[in-house]
């Protein structure tokens, strides 16, 4: 497909934006609001380190309560003892063995299906989502608000803020949506994901597809839930000093897709993801050598090597906002730059204001 026909969902080019004066005034207002927000929390990084120390103390205290006696008998019957240990830690093993056995049987016989994008729902439901579920519930202690705003049937475009260095928020969000309404959401991912060995194949298996207009419209036309992160890598790579300040939402390609398909837009606001890898500085020279958008330095990475890549156990809140209808937009709205800009700005402002509200409500970074 020629590149000229593709409208990238995470495009951040600044050319040909509609109504530059209006956009400049809007941006100045948002920047001032962000500065005011920072002035209210001048020692936020120090607070992060303090809360991290407290969380580490609680974690070590919790280790003392683990059933260590079970670990001493691992050599006798490792599988049984690991199952017993997991049960004591709250892991629900009911039906797991039977499900895995049936999954393996179907894989061996080739009795499974993938869709035209490579999505493997059985692999996702049986193997991937259970692991993500434990990550969301146990490690991040995700609190979900407004789940009634996710459509139980029919197509919709879900639009979220993006942060954290690695796209863990996209994986957690996919798990949360499935647990709330038992529907798979299809995430739009950057081309770098599919150019990365192994990551691209895995992404397609769990329902991720290329963030372009054509794929988005095909998925919406098929009645799917489609999730997009318009900030792209600029959101993922934000420094900690810029936490919870939304980056540009590109040229509004996601709004065009929703308007053309006449489907609702659901704004999603996530807090907690900014703190899993607090990015202090970037090393652009090293990023260029490695061919990645950024190479972050956090309090633990690369100081602790691989251990520094373990995400910090911040407390997450995910709020699904009220649906924004597109079926009432005028004919041709999908191709009208001003309409697209206005709806894009509405979605962005909704998410931004919700983030500020949630930050004011939460009790602490690590809950």
Say how far apart CA 305 and CA 310 lie, in whole Å: 10
pLDDT tops 60 at residue 140: yes
pLDDT band at 81 (very low <50, low <70, confident <90, very high): low
pLDDT on residue 260: 96
Query: Which residues in 229-308 belong to E strands, given as ranges?
Result: 265-271, 281-282, 296-297
**Residue range 224-245: mean pLDDT, rounded:** 96
The tokens for 351 are 């998410």
Say how far apart CA 24 and CA 16 lie, in whole Å: 14
pLDDT on residue 51: 67
Say how far apart CA 165 and CA 298 lie, in whole Å: 10
Q: Which residue has the higher pLDDT, 62 or 358?
A: 358
User: Tens digits of per-residue pLDDT, 163-193?
Assistant: 999 999 999 999 999 999 999 999 999 999 9
The tokens for 292 are 């990645």
> 211 exposed, middle or buried (CB, 10 Å; 0-12, 13-18, 19+)?
buried
CA 85 to chain centre: 30
pLDDT on residue 99: 74
User: Tens digits of per-residue pLDDT, 200-233?
Assistant: 999 999 999 999 999 999 999 999 999 999 999 9
> 68 exposed, middle or buried (CB, 10 Å; 0-12, 13-18, 19+)?
exposed
Residue ranges making up the domain that contains 92: 68-109
What 8-state DSSP symbol labels residue 8?
B
Q: Mark whether 216 and 268 lie in a shared domain.
A: yes
pLDDT tops 70 at residue 17: no
Question: Under DSSP, is residue 58 helix (H, G, I), strand (E, B) or coil?
Answer: helix
Say how far apart CA 305 and CA 312 lie, in whole Å: 15
Classify the C-alpha dihedral 201-206-209-211 as positive or negative: negative
Domain boundary among 85, 109, 133: 109
Please state the pTM of the whole predicted model: 0.79
Q: Mark whether 138 and 209 lie in a shared domain.
A: yes
Q: Mark whether 101 and 231 lie in a shared domain.
A: no
The tokens for 105 are 């049987």
Say how far apart CA 229 and CA 10 lie, in whole Å: 7
Residue owning tokens 């393996």: 104
Q: Mark whether 148 and 80 lie in a shared domain.
A: no
Q: Mark whether 265 and 194 lie in a shared domain.
A: yes
Structural domain includes residue 97: yes
Structural domain includes residue 163: yes
């Amino acid at each position: 497909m020629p590149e000229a026909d593709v409208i990238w969902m995470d495009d951040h080019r600044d050319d040909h934006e509609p109504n530059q004066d209006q956009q400049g005034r809007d941006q100045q207002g948002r920047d001032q609001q962000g500065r005011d927000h920072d002035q209210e929390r001048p020692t936020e990084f120090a607070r992060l380190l303090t809360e991290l120390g407290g969380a580490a103390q609680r974690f070590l205290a919790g280790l003392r309560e683990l059933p260590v006696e079970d670990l001493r008998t691992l050599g006798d019957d490792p599988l049984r003892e690991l199952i017993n240990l997991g049960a004591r830690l709250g892991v629900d093993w009911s039906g797991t063995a039977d499900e895995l056995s049936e999954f393996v049987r179907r894989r061996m016989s080739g009795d499974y299906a993938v869709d035209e994008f490579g999505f493997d729902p059985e692999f996702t439901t049986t193997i991937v989502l259970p692991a993500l579920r434990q990550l969301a519930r146990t490690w991040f202690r995700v609190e979900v608000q407004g789940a009634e705003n996710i459509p139980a049937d029919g197509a919709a475009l879900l639009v979220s803020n993006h942060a954290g260095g690695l796209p863990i928020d996209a994986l957690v969000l996919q798990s949360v949506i499935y647990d709330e309404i038992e529907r798979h959401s299809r995430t739009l991912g950057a081309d770098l994901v599919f150019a990365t060995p192994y990551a691209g194949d895995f992404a397609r298996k769990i329902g991720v597809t290329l963030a372009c207009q054509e794929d988005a419209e095909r998925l919406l036309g098929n009645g799917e839930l489609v999730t997009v992160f318009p900030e792209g890598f600029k959101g993922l790579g934000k420094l900690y000093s810029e936490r919870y300040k939304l980056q540009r939402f590109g040229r509004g390609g996601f709004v065009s897709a929703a308007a053309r398909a006449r489907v609702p837009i659901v704004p999603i606001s996530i807090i907690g993801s900014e703190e899993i890898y607090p990015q202090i500085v970037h090393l652009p020279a090293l990023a260029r050598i490695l061919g990645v958008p950024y190479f972050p330095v956090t309090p633990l990475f690369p100081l602790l090597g691989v251990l520094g890549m373990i995400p910090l156990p911040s407390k997450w809140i995910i709020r699904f906002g009220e649906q924004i209808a597109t079926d009432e937009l005028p004919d041709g709205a999908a191709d009208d730059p001003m309409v697209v800009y206005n709806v894009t700005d509405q979605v962005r402002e909704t998410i931004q204001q919700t983030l500020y509200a949630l930050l004011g409500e939460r009790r602490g970074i690590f809950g």
